[in-house]
Chain A
């Protein structure tokens, strides 16, 4: 079972609380109303019964009275029905009212000379029985229908139930609203955290005037400051280290070129060693350059209009490749893209280097557009392709493909494709690799916001 959310739980709590309160209030009111209504009706009924009893007694004092006629002479309305017990015989105005209606207990009390009142149900109808002893042998009973009272009570009960339910609903709504108010700071924090996670390190919570929340927002912002400082320190450390490595590399590069010039004067072992030194200096240098680049990819892109076809051609020439590799799609309407020139140049150079290293050289560089404003770069090679399992990991840092023919594992820095991914991400874009139709790999880079 999934756990309910905070807001749902608080709202349910509010609803239950409101329902309990409203229900007990309703029960209390119902009970009060019921009791006072019944008491009122009972008083009236008893008074009426005494009055009627007096009339009957007077009627019976004559000689050989017609009991039924006496009962008929009572002005009882439709709600009251008289019944007389006289010398072990029952008298009523109509046949429907039977003696069976009077419980034995009541009869016993009345016969013993005390008036009595009892509420009973007759044929499903609530009835109030009032018994008045007239003499040793005569008892007068009156049956008063309580149906009206019961109907009134039903209406009251229904109304009170409806009110209770409405109050519970209002409680739930209040809970929902109140939690939205109180959860809003959390929602704000979530929004800000998402922005920060997306790389916008300048975002902070707005200063609040609510004294209850000041500490919260202050400490959150402080935490973000600390984290950003730490990230920045790490980034700067990588950049600083790389920069510091450049100076000794200059000495090494110059010294290696002096050694290289004297190759013919060196014995074979010395020449080999000198060659190794020179090669490794080159690799070292590339590594340092890539590390510095990587440290910089966090910075925002500087978009400007760039003729990408010219850029791609220049890049091919810089890697001694024919610029006829560069092709544009049939749908390409514009070749001037709004991009960060240096980053896209780096993307192209790294993809071309990658294709030489692992894909037996590039066979095509394709530039296309996709609506609404996405520029797509593709570099095709003719190598063995990239196995599906590797297609994501090769864009990580210091990861090299496990392709068997990767001819020059010793050559790459393991950062080239990571840089491609970072530069693309800085543009808000994505990178990937698929199979090229006809063999080889196709590396693609999507750069959104190119055609604005």
Chain B
């Protein structure tokens, strides 16, 4: 059974969500503070983490950063706030997705499922982009021979771009293929591309491999 950790300080929201996630077949458990969530995740790691941003004590952004430091567990932010500033900050801290309250549990469940995938089932051979190697089947990214730690979402993004190497993928296409959204928030793609560039590009401000085509989308090139 898939384990889900819910970090939410509002008791009633937490209780209702745990009940509903339980109905969806998850092994869901909740905590009220970021500190407790981090402790819990270290002792008994969950397969997904849902985190609120407004938490007493350590806030959601810091919580995401610390969770991300330890592992690549898919993290979904559930927040009542939908200002660009908050969304971008949470994604930059390391969250994989951002949903705004109230979210239907079925929708949330679909999001979690999409995020747990690691790469695609198809056997795609290792692709080389200069000093960058992407091995979809091995689930590995190497730069100059050294493994690059990427999250599952970042990895799926790279695989998708590598599969269409040299071709432009629009943000909407990437949203559909990487996150499983029909239509969604393009900032999700932009922030993830930025995160990936930090890891694979020598000069992330002037990317050589993962380039932006203004108004069109992104392209991975040699």
Contact = CB atoms under 8 A, between A and B. Distances in A.
A253 B17 CA distance: 9
Interface stretch (A43-51, A134-142, A306-314): A306-314
B19 A258 contact: yes
Contact of A255 (B20, B82, B214): B20
Contacts of A306: 215
Interface string B78-117: 1011100000000000000000111111100000000000
A314 B104 contact: no
A307 B214 contact: no
Contact of B16 (A243, A254, A315, A345): A254
Contacts of A285: 102
Interface string A101-122: 0000000000000000000000
Contacts of B216: 307
A11 to B, nearest CB: 56
Interface residues of B, number: 28
A243 B102 contact: no
Contacts of A255: 16, 19-20
A249 B215 contact: no
B60 to A, nearest CB: 14
Contacts, number: 76
Contacts of B172: 310, 314
B43 interface: no
B183 interface: yes
A317 B182 CA distance: 8
A307 B215 contact: yes
Contacts of B215: 304-307, 336
A89 interface: no
Contacts of B101: 246-247, 249-250
Contacts of B78: 250
A341 to B, nearest CB: 7
Given A253-B104, A317-B182, A246 B214 contact: no
Contacts of B183: 314-315, 317-318, 345
A229 interface: no
Most A CB contacts (10 A, CB to CB) among B19, B80, B82 go to B80
Nearest to B183: A318
A336 B183 CA distance: 18
Contact of A243 (B10, B80, B103): B80
B186 to A, nearest CB: 7
A241 to B, nearest CB: 12
A342 B16 CA distance: 31
B170 interface: yes
A250 B15 CA distance: 11
Contacts of B12: 248, 251
A253 B102 contact: yes
Given A243-B81, A255-B16, A318-B183, A249 B102 contact: yes
Given A244-B80, A251-B10, A341-B186, 18 more contacts: A243-B80, A248-B12, A249-B101, A249-B102, A250-B80, A253-B102, A253-B103, A253-B104, A253-B105, A254-B13, A254-B19, A258-B20, A258-B23, A261-B23, A281-B102, A305-B215, A306-B215, A317-B182
Closest A-B pairs by Cβ, 7 of them: A305-B215, A254-B16, A249-B102, A246-B80, A254-B20, A253-B102, A250-B102
